[in-house]
A and B are shown apart, each in its own frame.
Chain A
Amino acid sequence: MEFEILGNPDFGEARAKLGAGDSFHAASGAMNWHRGPVSFRAKLMGGFFRSLFRKILGGTSMFINEYQATGPSEVAFSHCVAGTLVKIPVTSEGLLISGGSFTACTPGVDMRTQFGGFKAFFSGKGAFFIEASGSGDVFFGAYGAVVEKELDGELIVDNGHVLAWENTLDWSLEGAGGLKSTLFSGEGLVMRFSGRGRIWVQTRHLTGTAGWITPFLRS
């Protein structure tokens, strides 16, 4: 099974070439097209919210699709918002991925959902993260371009710009600069990361785009 990513940094799309018996998982709605003998089934993702709600605000639904090929076939998939598609091998400590950004993974990757706490719920970004562990590759899509940072210390990231991070980092969710600032600064929630590890951030977020276009909307 081979994966090729085209179109980065603007419009990342992955093309999977499958042979008989190959399979992989992709987020709902991620598939663009396919040809050849391949079919898919929706499966529940493992984790805390297994049997609870189906779709969470702005995030991937709890179901992921398992694609199975019975012969030579091809599947193309991408994230629903325009940006870079990243493919990373899962590390032994695990990767945490923002819920709405997960796009696909190879078999052998264990996916569990993690609840970010009630504060995250109000951030509009979705209440959960996906923890990817095991072995294999995971694909996640950014809104915008991706900046990978090697952190050794501390970094504060606006919640909407967080894409993924290594589980070796400590993190906390807080208001940006205190209550008054949070309410009035327009910055919303931020995540404070500390320790050593990699963080992936995206250069756009939907709330920013929403704020920008709002004055142009008619009633």
Chain B
Amino acid sequence: MKKLLWLIIAVSAVSIMAGTASAAKLLLINGAGATFPYPLYSKWFYEYAKVDETVNFNYQSIGSGGGIRQITAQTVDFGASDGALTDEQLKAAPGELLHIPMTAGAVVITYNLPQVSQSLRFSPDVIADIFLGKIKKWNDPRIAKDNPGVNVPGDNIIVAHRSDGSGTTNIFTDYLSSVSAEWQSRVGKGTSVNWPAGLGGKGNEGVAGLVKQTEGAIGYVELAYAVKNNLPASDIKNKSGNFMVPSIESTTAAINGKMNSMPADFRVSLVNPDGADAYPIAGLTWILVYKNQPDKVKGEKIVKFLRWAITDGQEYSAELLYAPLPEKMVKKIEERIDEIRY
């Protein structure tokens, strides 16, 4: 009995020592936050491990809310969020938090109308009134006006939205608030809102499931999900009056459209940008880091990684269906990264 006990102690002591020995080689940097950029971030961490072998990134995609809470509590080395922090949230943090834009995503409006073969087109006010529950039938004259020559059936419109809090909902409701005064005052924008109409599905797959299963349904999903699953995507009328197909290029164009009004802290919404070829329902996603890094070694590694991610790292964006940041934007972000002290 005693022998067994000693054996257990010995084995565990050896394994603990082995554990610390291998950990000493690698510097572990912890991050947590948004789920939307997770596929891109994990690709980056994988590729970056080849660039710098001494550092290991560990990212928990627990949601933007959790990411903001954890970086505020300083339990992680960096946070990530699909929504910019409010002034209040910035004040709650123990130090100055910087928003570093990493990539952009777009939201696609998808639908289920088996009779309609070409892509439907929507004006901003029509989308808002559909999601407000005011346009109830597919053959509404306002939908027909945007789609001349398309035989739209007289089915009821069934709205599907995300039931879980998400950055996708944040971008979409941000867009609706910017194009409809009624949406802005009645519903507003956020990761979860009080939906005036429709059914809630959990996750992109939940919304896509509802739309696929229900004839006459309309819903929104993120671009990458819509492309990978071949969902029908609507063309949306942008500020210049062009109907734009959601794509990586038109999302990057949306960032370009906001360059002139880009604030220094990058807390900017991409919806409804200028530019003839910009897709209007898009949003940035950020990594959150403290301007004054508490740990010299980690701070240096984080800065190096961020610089790599917005330059070399951008080449991985398109294949994973994220919009690469435009050159001009990258320059501005590099200046911002230079401000980080460690």
**A associates with B:** no
